[in-house]
Homo-oligomer: A and B are copies of this chain.
Amino acid sequence: MCMILLVDQDDVLADFELGFLSKWREMYPDKPYVPLEERTTFYIRENYPKELEPLVDSVYSSPGFYRSILPMQGGPEAVKEIERKGHKVFICTSPLSRFEDCVLEKYLWVEEHLGREWTKRMILTSDKTLVHGDILIDDRPEIKGVCKPVWEHVLYTHSYNKQITSKRRLTWQNWKEILNI
């Protein structure tokens, strides 16, 4: 059976967490940082002292930051394999509210790491409940919006979503056993 898989971009295909931490330490070497395995909140800024929030935001808005993010290990290969198995994959991503900093770079990132054809598979939306699919692979603990979603939310495992026990979860290291597709 052909399934439609919606795959989130940040921290599912693109290693946003690592990109942020690398850039943070490069830009602000004298400031404290939160190691990846100690991150506990979905939004990075919530794990940093309030007074550092403008600095945290300045990392996202550095020109070229988004494009410099590395792929999640195994991510691009996994979505291409899912396609080869006859399913349809769409990249379903919510822009930062400062859209200026990321919208075009999100497309350029996909072109660079998956190929230009994949830019046609991108769906940019702040509300993922409006998008039809069988499965949404996303690292955000809870996904809300105006609709009752038709997809099953499968969590992409990160340290900051470990508390969620009500959903199936995977990484690109074990997706084949979990999804069984």
Residue numbers of A with Cβ under 8 A of B are 4, 88, 90, 95, 97, 99-100, 103-104, 107-108, 119-127, 129-133, 146-147, 150
Contacts and interface: CB of A to CB of B under 8 A. Distances in A.
Contacts of A4: 130, 146-147
Copies of this protein in the complex = 2
Nearest to A107: B99
Given A88-B146, A129-B132, 16 more contacts: A4-B146, A90-B127, A90-B130, A99-B104, A100-B108, A103-B103, A120-B126, A121-B126, A122-B124, A122-B126, A123-B130, A123-B131, A125-B125, A131-B131, A131-B132, A132-B132
11 contacts: A90-B125, A95-B107, A99-B119, A100-B107, A100-B108, A103-B103, A103-B104, A103-B107, A121-B126, A123-B124, A125-B125
A131 B124 CA distance: 11
Main secondary structure of the interface of A (DSSP, over half): mixed
Contact of A122 (B120, B125, B129, B146): B125
Contacts of A133: 130
